[in-house]
Structure 1
Amino acid sequence: MTGQLDTAVLVTVLAGGAIYLCLSRRFLRVLLGFLLLSNAANLVVLSMSGDPTGRRAAMAGSEAASTSAVDPVPQALILTAIVIGFSVAAYLTVLLYRIYVDSGSATTTGLDEADDAPGEQAAR
């Protein structure tokens, strides 16, 4: 197997698992699915940058042809995506915790049952 085929299979497995987890009814699985999906997207961007074997690091002011240097833009994009993904995951964790505290349930079916509670309608 080539390196590109290995990466494509890994991205497919990560994205498939992420979609499966995101469609779950449990909030923790949705959070883990989101994390898997962001990692799969980062891997796609990294695989598009090409194979760095035999290429040198990109340096400012070098006289050598820029075609033999590794492109640093995908790496910068991935670093930015990791930071953004971490902050969104932290926000999603706090949001899901708050939903759990308010509703008393960690599933979407528990939210439906909490909305149908008769005592809550009388209090409003």
Structure 2
Amino acid sequence: MPLNPDTSPNLTLVLVITALVTVGVYLLLERSLSRVLIGVILLGNAANLLFLVAGGAAGRPPLVGSAEPSEMSDPLPQAMALTAIVITLAMTAFLLAMAYRSWQLHRHDEVQDDVEDRRIARLAARDERATTDADTEDTRSTLDEEAAETRDETDDAPSERTTPVEVP
């Protein structure tokens, strides 16, 4: 079955989207906040292009009564693109604020390892546990012993009443 030229995506746009996502993800994995910022912007632009490509060919405005439904363009990709623009703008503002604050405090925008991360990495290198988990440790008790120790709320219900309930 041959492809309809109106519904097949433009190969150039698909390659641009692929390149933007690839470079954006690579930059998100960096430690520099300015590179992360550029990665977020590239991913936002790739999402917008993807929505435009997925929306298909342009058509008439999606107003009821102005044209036949088959001739109208789909409004959902347009709404999704506007949402992606707003999310990208918010993330850009947040990352700019973080990078600026990091520059004020440390004179660089590189994210450093946390002290706790370093401690856990040292423990992992020595093959030691960072914490103990009481649920997984062997407590030498059986399931019957644990059930006997558990307080059952239904056992106390009759003894809590001090006066009998009278029915009128």
* Fold shared by both chains (TM-score > 0.5): yes
Partner of residue 108 from structure 2, selected from 100, 105, 120: 105
Give 5+ residue unaligned stretches, structure 2. 1-7, 116-168
Superimposed CA distance per residue, residues 75-109 of structure 1 (whole angstroms, 9 cap, x where no aligned partner): 1221122122112210111022212323333223x
Q: Which residue of 1 aligns with 2:151?
A: none
| Cα shift at 1:45 | 1.3
Name the CA distance, whole Å, in 2 between partners of 1:29 and 1:84.
18
Give 5+ residue unaligned stretches, structure 1. 116-124
Aligned-partner residue type, residue 64 of structure 2: A
Percent sequence identity is: 37
Partner of residue 15 from structure 2, selected from 9, 12, 21: 9
When normalised by structure 1's length, the TM-score is 0.74
Q: What are the residue-to-residue correspondences of 1:42-81 with 2, within 5 Å?
A: 42-52=48-58, 55-62=59-66, 64-81=67-84
When normalised by structure 2's length, the TM-score is 0.57
Name the CA distance, whole Å, in 2 between partners of 1:25 and 1:15.
18
In the TM superposition, structure 1's runs of 4+ consecutive aligned residues that sit over 6 Å from their partners are none
Name the CA distance, whole Å, in 1 between partners of 2:88 and 2:33.
17
Name the CA distance, whole Å, in 2 between partners of 1:106 and 1:84.
22
Q: Which has the higher contact order (CA 8 A, sep 6+)?
A: 1
**RMSD of the alignment, in Å?**
2.1
Aligned-partner residue type, residue 59 of structure 1: L
Larger Rg: 2
Superimposed CA distance per residue, residues 28-86 of structure 1 (whole angstroms, 9 cap, x where no aligned partner): 1111011101111111111110011xx32222333x42011111221122112212211
Give the total of aligned pairs: 108
SS at match of 1:18: helix
